[in-house]
A and B are shown apart, each in its own frame.
Chain A
Amino acid sequence: MKKLIAVCGVVCVGLLSATAVFAAGTIKIGGLFAVTGPAAFLGEPERNTAKMVVEEINKAGGVKGHKLELVVYDTSGDATKAVQLATKLIRDDHVAAIIGPSTTGESMAVIPVAEREKVPLISCSAGIKITEPVKKWVFKTAQNDTLAVGKIYEYLQRHKQSKVAILTVSDGFGASGREQLKAQARKYGITIVSDDTYGPKDTDMTAQLTRIRGSRAQAIICWGTNPGPAVIAKNARQLGLKMPLFMSHGVSSKKFIELAGDAAEGIKLPSGKVIVADLLPASDRQKGALTAFVKDYQKHYRAEGDHFGGHAWDAVMLLKNAIERGGDTRATIRDQLERTRGFAGIGGTFSYSAQDHAGLNNDAFVLVEVKKRHWSIVK
């Protein structure tokens, strides 16, 4: 009998704290980031940025008088771990909303938990499946691959180049890019004349590039994250390939230029606007947010802020705005998130609706080119 009462008591306390998210005066936000493991290049800047933004918000007096508290767990890129930690955030830490996870695989695994427990989830990963079809409690801040592919194809179409070779990495990111590259080709009148892949740890891609050289391709599009694309850039230079080389937004950081060196010259890629924040015209709506983020990140971590960190920046700010507009329970925060209109963040200008939980359009990306080891915007 005693045991039963104890159990009831625990359940009641659990229920109470689950509904009244602000009871303690602070608002708890959960963070699930792949800080270690293969996706650490995403998770680390995301965690750093989330911590930084929360700190800044609290320094400025919090949200409507409440301080924010960020509870971060490291998923190490493991979907099983992500699910366990999401449950922990919801049941033990009683967070108002969850930011993350960093990769699409983890996000897909965590979505059922968020839906079941009715907790707003703002994913920082790019996979199109996360918000298509729309799930009631799930939003995302990372730009869809579709937009990046569209940006490259638009450029090719304008320059009357219709035969392309694609070279994608054989992991989740590359597979998703390859799918989109193939799916959208027809819409832009483009034919894929050569379709090759490479392994994420491969160190020599001259074989694939030699084959592409023998094809009738007018341009090469390579889809991968560092270091593969840097190797490809070097190999292409070694082989003296004349056709233009396009990369994905997966390498839009200074690290790529550093790794590829002179071979990066002239390479074009779609990118979030972070890396060219100072080159944007003053009329750009995102300019304010971008320069603030870059300056803050530099101050806190003495490193350049990248668009991965930007995904977390957007997520925290979207959440903050939703709470400011009157979100005080998990359900109302969700409703307010959905009412976000024209929020100019790092990844783009977000406008969520009941039909769209990704919230971005084509202007989220710009096409950039490497010139003299710096980024420049392709007009």
Chain B
Amino acid sequence: MKGNSLPMKGREFLRKKRTPMQLEQILQYSFSGLSTGAIYALIGIGFSIIFNATGIINFAQGEFVMLGGMLTLFFLELLQLPLWAAVPCAVAVSALAGILFERLAIRPLRQPTPINLVIITIAGSILIRGLAMLLWGKDTHAIPPFSGDEPISIAGATILPQHIWILAITVLIIAVNKFFFYHTISGKAMRACSYNRRAASLVGIDVRRMVLLSFIISSVLGSLAGIIVAPLTMTAYDVGIMLGLKGFCAAIIGGMSSGMATVVGGLILGVLESLGAGLISSGYKDAIAFIILLLILFIRPQGLFGKAESERV
């Protein structure tokens, strides 16, 4: 009896899978996963760019995500700017915060060992979060969606216009990123720094300028991620912690490359989380992300896609 019941269940399970309802569900999980994954990817790229330029993990990366959302809200509500003006302003101020952070906290360090730098970035993240709490309070805030919130139905699954914005902006950013690193002098110089900082400085590349540039790009990417996701998830002074960690996971899966590998890492993470929450149990959602992180660090510390990718900027 007992031996018989298991395969029966298995068969039933398979048959159920094929019903349209189940397919719809899987499709819905995947859509949700892809849009969250895109956000993880953007944050992950921010991690990688700074890592490649300086060799450190910038744990304040999540705070730039928070700054993006909160600053947009600030410009929208307090200064009454329209959305199209508030977004660039928020990105600009975040970039400024990135510059200040690099100038005041990273550059003056006498002995820039990685461990010192990492601790400084953690301190920086606590500081930024604390300032945001004092400035804007502890409440959660909603940001209006970019273009309405009428659900769009695709083959039984539904998405919001904001999801399309997220995917489109992510693709655009990745394309610009690629162009920058492969077809501009500054981008090529940054790549050179990531391969060998000493050699790069010997051929006349200003490494410190490249480090500053990496902080600017990362803060811009982080804040953009924070802005496009805020209409869906809302924003508060402490949203940066979890998003930052998930972005870090994405970067680890991608082997700290600032190219496609991290993007794929983010998408894999998002989809697995969503499928796990839907098919297994929602209680394990965050556990899935961190189990993946640990597995990758144990088994493939060079990232899911091998060594060649990991050395690229």
Contact = CB atoms under 8 A, between A and B. Distances in A.
B278 A231 contact: no
B269 to A, nearest CB: 13
The interface size bin for chain B is: 35 or more
A377 B25 CA distance: 36
Nearest to A36: B138
A207 B275 CA distance: 7
B151 A199 contact: no
Interface range on chain A (Cβ under 8 Å from partner):
35 or more
A42 to B, nearest CB: 12
A199 B233 CA distance: 13
Interface string B115-138: 000000000000000000000001
A65 interface: no
Interface string A184-228: 000000000000111101111111101101100000000000110
A307 interface: no
Nearest to B33: A207
B242 to A, nearest CB: 5
Nearest to A200: B242
B282 A204 contact: no
A111 interface: no
Contacts of A204: 32, 35-36, 232-233, 274
A226 B151 contact: no
Contacts of A237: 149, 151
Interface in A167-186: 170
B236 interface: yes
A240 interface: yes
B139 interface: yes
B142 interface: yes
Contact of B278 (A41, A203, A208, A262): A208
A157 to B, nearest CB: 28
A240 B160 CA distance: 11
A258 interface: yes
Q: Which of B141, B234, B236, B241 has the most CB of A within 10 A?
A: B234
A205 B29 CA distance: 10
A197 B283 contact: yes
Query: Nearest 10 pairs between A and B by C-beta?
Result: A203-B233, A207-B278, A207-B277, A227-B140, A206-B32, A210-B28, A259-B142, A238-B151, A208-B282, A201-B242
Interface of A: 40-41, 170, 196-199, 201-208, 210-211, 213-214, 226-227, 230-231, 234, 237-240, 255, 258-263
